Amino acid sequence: MKRRTSLAIAVVGVLGLLVLAGPASAAGRGVKMGEADERYFFGPQTQYANVGDTVTWTNGTDAPHSVTSDSGTELASDSLPDGATFDHTFTAEGTFTYHCTIHSYMTGKIVVLAAGAALPATDTAAASRGRSGMPQDSLLIVLLAGLAVGGLAIRRFRPALEA
């Protein structure tokens, strides 16, 4: 009976962690400056926001980057070193395209909808990729599953080893 209780607690714990990790990774209006296959990128390349939302760009690479509007002056960051952020609050609807002045192939856009409008899903696959190219959320899931399976295996075989 104790074995079933332990198994149920482990399964509920892992599922709880996965449920909590999902909304946390989807929340917020952020754009990551990343690197994959020796190329830098903004991820997601298209981010959606509502009027009044603040979008935060975070440099996750060892190279400096900028966030610069393709037209106008809506977005104009300084050079951002590793770990630095740039925030901008959007006050009008529209599509705002931007680039990095240091790496001209890095491009992105923010699509701003009316305040309170439902936002489409954002493809965060590029944003969540680490330097290895594997999604970081997948690494977390694999790690948690491995810990759960390992813990259950140790608990299951411990009585046989003690006998």
52: left (phi over 0), alpha (psi -120 to 50) or beta: left
CATH of the domain at 157: 2.60.40.420
- Its domain, for residue 132, covers 2-162
Q: Exposed, middle or buried by CB within 10 Å (0-12, 13-18, 19+), for 92?
A: exposed
pLDDT at 69 over 80: yes
What gap in Å lies between CA 55 and CA 130, rounded to an integer?
Answer: 21
Local confidence band at 72 (pLDDT 50, 70, 90 cut-offs) = confident
Regarding pTM above 0.85, the answer is no
Digit-coded pLDDT (tens) for 73-129:
899 999 999 999 999 999 999 999 999 999 999 999 999 999 999 999 876 554 444
Q: Which residues lie across from 42 on neighbouring strands?
A: 33
Instruction: Kindly give, in sequence order, each residue whose CB lies less than 8 Å from that of residue 89, ignoring residues fewer than 6 positions away.
Output: 52, 53, 54
Q: Give the count of domains, the chain.
A: 1
Digit-coded pLDDT (tens) for 36-56:
999 999 999 999 999 999 999
Pairing of β 39-43 and β 85-89: unpaired
Instruction: Please tell me which residue, 154 or 22, carries the higher pLDDT value.
Output: 154
What SS3 class is residue 55? strand
- Structure token pair of residue 17: 């962690």
